Amino acid sequence: MDTQIKTNNRNVVFLVIVAALGYFVDIYDLVLFSVVRVQSLTEIGVPADRMQADGFTIINSQMFGLLLGGILWGILGDKLGRIKVLFGSILLYSLANIANGFVDSVNSYAIIRFIAGIGLAGELGAGITLVAETMDKEKRGYGTMVVGAIGLLGAAVAATVASDYTWQTSYFVGGGMGLALLLLRVGTFESGMFKHAANQSEISKGNIFILFNNRKRFLKYLYCILIGIPLWFVVGILVTLAPEFGKALGATEPLKAGTGIMFTYFGIAIGDVVTGFLSQMLKSRRKTVFIFHLLSVVSVIVYLTSYGLNSSSFIWICLFMGFSVGYWATFVTIASEQFGTNIRATVTTTAPNFVRGALIPMTILFEYLSEKYSLITAGYLVMAILTIIAIFGLSQLKESFNKDLDYLEE
């Protein structure tokens, strides 16, 4: 019996490590365009006055791919298993990132990022679902915390590689790491809860319409998505457009998006560890995320009032903003814990990708407000709107800490 327990514990530890490394590569590839945006677009001939607009076109193509991929991989995760989704998604985004090193136009860039987005959509949801379903309910918060903390450091590596090598090489490195990760996946095992549900042929699995044919269930799903949207606004707009915000704030030197993203994700990684521990200590994920929503508002106010900032102060502000939105792993865990095994992978995969995909309407709203008012005012207004929406969504969800996940949605 002791030997079996030790074996099971080793299997769980290995699963958490592999899920964390998978998320590490996922985040590396996910933020890489934001890091190399200016350099890559300049080299393929995009003029300075088209840099922001064409950049939005490409990032929105990636986010649209994430939206579609989230639905695809989520359904497959509940129908075919979490492990198969991990293999398929890693292979697709790895090959797409290698192809990205050969683009020579905005159109080809956007198409490849769309394909990469589809692939990137499957990694986190399948990994978190596996960890949540495999670990003890009292400890699973620690497992998802490790996945989030290690995974988010991929952004720091993306910024480091991009600063030392060409943007093409940065994409090749991302694709290569993904292919290498496939070898590690061979040793992972399928969720016991999924296997149990798979044997019940009368139960509908991966049927996304289950989320929409019941008003209460649909609203619960919507609220899960809403609680994560401020985070992606901070990363996808406030930090990605650091060069533009630097000019608006009268920065004493040009601000680099790659540097900002690296330190923002350092902050997010630290925040993920803190939110993971805090949710375990408070025995409440809702209270923890609420605290960090308030903290994120403070951090954005600090950023948007930092007139005359320099590179050093920008780094500290990015660390602070990243830390304040470091509830990503906790947010995904909340979504995973809200639904039954036969639809859990669909929810856990689609929810974070709908949050990422929400960057599309966010950029549209932000561009409209920035043209009507100013870049700084638009930042204030959009952050205020998103935070109010997120806190409302959080208030409508039931506490899921210590919840038994071995059940099905009828």
Q: What is the DSSP letter of 250?
A: T
CATH fold group of domain 2-190+205-395: Growth Hormone; Chain: A; (1.20.1250)
Looking at residue 319, its pLDDT comes to 94
Looking at residue 193, its pLDDT comes to 56
Q: How does pLDDT run across 303-333, given as a tens digit for each residue?
A: 999 999 998 999 999 999 999 998 988 888 8
Q: Taking the chain, what is the end-to-end CA distance rounded to the nearest angstrom? A: 36
Ranges of residues in the chain whose predicted pLDDT is under 50: 1-7
Looking at residue 383, its pLDDT comes to 95
Identity at 156, one-letter amino acid code: A
Looking at residue 259, its pLDDT comes to 85
Count Cβ neighbours within 10 Å for each residue of 202-234 and write b for 16 or more, e otherwise.
ebebbbeebbeeeeebeebbebbbbbbbbbbbb
Q: What is the DSSP letter of 80?
A: T
Looking at residue 131, its pLDDT comes to 78
Looking at residue 409, its pLDDT comes to 63
Read off the tokens for 14: 């290995």
Looking at residue 293, its pLDDT comes to 96
Looking at residue 3, its pLDDT comes to 47
CA 37 vs CA 101, 167, 376: distances in Å: 13, 9, 21
Count Cβ neighbours within 10 Å for each residue of 6-23 and write b for 16 or more, e otherwise.
eeeeeebeebbebbbbbb
Q: What is the DSSP letter of 238?
A: I
How many CA atoms within 13 Å lie on the side-chain side of 48?
Answer: 2
